[in-house]
Amino acid sequence: MKIKIAGIGSYIPEKKVSNTDFSEHVFLNEDGTAFAYPNQVIIKKFKGITGIEHRRYAEDHLNSSDLAFFASQKAIENAGIDPETIDYIIFAHNFGDVKYGTNQSDMLPSLATRVKNKLQIKNPKCVAYDILFGCPGWIEGVLQANAFIKSGMAKRCLVIGSETLSRVVDEHDRDSMIYSDGAGAAIIEASDDETGMLSYESGTYAKDEANFLFFGKSYNPDLDPDIRYIKMYGRKIYEFALNTVPAAMKSCLDKSGIKIDEVKKILIHQANEKMDEAIIQRFYKLHDRPVPQDIMPMSIHELGNSSVATVPTLFDLLIRGEIENQSIEKGDILLFASVGAGMNVNAFVYRY
């Protein structure tokens, strides 16, 4: 038995924030000192490394669970199913609902429960729960849905990835320009044809890598040190990703029995353009192959890094033909992959 993505949907917030909107920000070093060069230089270097030109922020009155609800509605409509037939709602996020202008995470009740309530699903046997797995959370949710369906515990699952990272960033940290908001959702069910998941890989590296992403105080020493923001050791994450993700992708592909030349698209977490390009290059180097043209669709230039939402949103955009010079056809082999806080790495091979 295989599982397939029977429906997909995403919600991209309307509020568009450009790199130029950061021109007047007061960016500081970790020790609180000012940079020796102007913001224009910081922004130019940032664009050159990450590829990000714009990002989206949630409207002030909306929370992560609201974005997830909108994406879920689209996925349910795309699948053409009755929401009462959903057995599990698996919601991947990192910080819960963070209301605009506040700094407190709200996860009671769970965000999955909130989405079930907004969808007005009456069936009590539709089990709703959240998972915290960093940026690879949506893929991990798909792997859990796979396990539920194959074991007979479920016939249909709704897997969501949603985040409002713009509300947990330190505005004095230049890394804050990376993060964005958004949501993606998918209906997962058993496949009755040749389509679906062919293999998967997942792992957590926590011995030395656990705190590469963490909650830390603002770089502005005048702000309350007990208020925490998302922080990262960018260089360590970059090196970790290059050393682990290509190997995990190769292991996943090897288990599928699919040859590297059969892979049509790689849908990788939209974290950093240069890092993603380096991962793909190393992956193909492991197979002694050149990187094919247009193998890696990208959304980060316009949407930024919305964590768990990037992969399902990318898939949704790709299917709808909204990524320039990118398309897929029935039967194409796709490789999904992600890396993030934990540090977690996962992947799955999929026949569309």
Note the pLDDT tens digit of each residue in 183-224: 999 999 999 888 999 999 999 999 999 999 999 999 999 999
> What pLDDT is stored for residue 72 in this prediction?
98
State how far the Cα of 258 lies from the Cα of 226, in Å rounded to an integer: 50
Same domain, 274 and 154: no
> What pLDDT is stored for residue 274 in this prediction?
93
Same domain, 159 and 254: no
Look at the chain and report how many structural domains it folds into: 2
Last residue of a domain, one of 161, 192, 223: 192
Same domain, 177 and 76: yes
Last residue of a domain, one of 192, 223, 240: 192
Comparison of pLDDT for 192 and 337, the residue scoring more = 337
Domain carrying residue 242:
198-351
Q: What average pLDDT does this structure show over 166-182?
A: 96
pTM: 0.95
Same domain, 144 and 244: no
Same domain, 322 and 180: no
> What pLDDT is stored for residue 218 in this prediction?
94
Same domain, 12 and 150: yes
Same domain, 243 and 168: no
State how far the Cα of 248 lies from the Cα of 266, in Å rounded to an integer: 13
> What pLDDT is stored for residue 174 in this prediction?
93
> What pLDDT is stored for residue 335 in this prediction?
98
Residue 315 above 90 pLDDT? yes
> What pLDDT is stored for residue 92 in this prediction?
98
Residue 103 above 90 pLDDT? no
Same domain, 163 and 288: no
Note the pLDDT tens digit of each residue in 296-309: 999 999 999 999 99
Q: What average pLDDT does this structure show over 132-139?
A: 97
Two tokens, residue 235: 């260089």
Note the pLDDT tens digit of each residue in 65-90: 999 999 999 999 999 999 999 999 99
Q: What average pLDDT does this structure show over 306-332?
A: 95
Q: What average pLDDT does this structure show over 246-259?
A: 97
Q: What average pLDDT does this structure show over 111-140?
A: 98
Note the pLDDT tens digit of each residue in 35-63: 988 999 999 999 999 999 999 999 999 99
Same domain, 178 and 261: no
> What pLDDT is stored for residue 102 in this prediction?
87
Q: What average pLDDT does this structure show over 174-187?
A: 97
Q: What average pLDDT does this structure show over 103-117?
A: 95
> What pLDDT is stored for residue 294 in this prediction?
93
> What pLDDT is stored for residue 192 in this prediction?
87
Percentage of the chain beyond pLDDT 90 is 94
> What pLDDT is stored for residue 140 in this prediction?
98
Q: What is the 3-state secondary structure (H, E, C) of the chain?
A: CEEEEEEEEEECCCEEEEHHHHCCCCCECCCCCECCCCHHHHHHHHHHHHCCCEEEECCCCCCHHHHHHHHHHHHHHHHCCCHHHCCEEEEECCCCECCCCCCCCECCCCHHHHHHHHHCCCCCCCEEEEECCCCCHHHHHHHHHHHHHHHCCCCEEEEEEEEEHHHCCCCCCHHHHHECEEEEEEEEEEECCCCEEEEEEEEECCCCCCCCEEEEECCCCCCCCCCEEEEECHHHHHHHHHHHHHHHHHHHHHHHCCCHHHEEEEEECCCCHHHHHHHHHHHHHHCCCCCCCCCCCCCHHHHCECHHHHHHHHHHHHHCCCCCCCCCCCCCEEEEEEEECCCEEEEEEEEC
CATH number at residue 116: 3.40.47.10
Across 269-299, b (16+ Cβ under 10 Å) vs e yields bbbbbebbebbbebbbeebeeeeeeeebbbb
Same domain, 184 and 271: no
Average pLDDT, the chain: 96
> What pLDDT is stored for residue 113 in this prediction?
98
Same domain, 64 and 33: yes
Last residue of a domain, one of 153, 176, 192: 192
> What pLDDT is stored for residue 199 in this prediction?
97
Same domain, 251 and 173: no
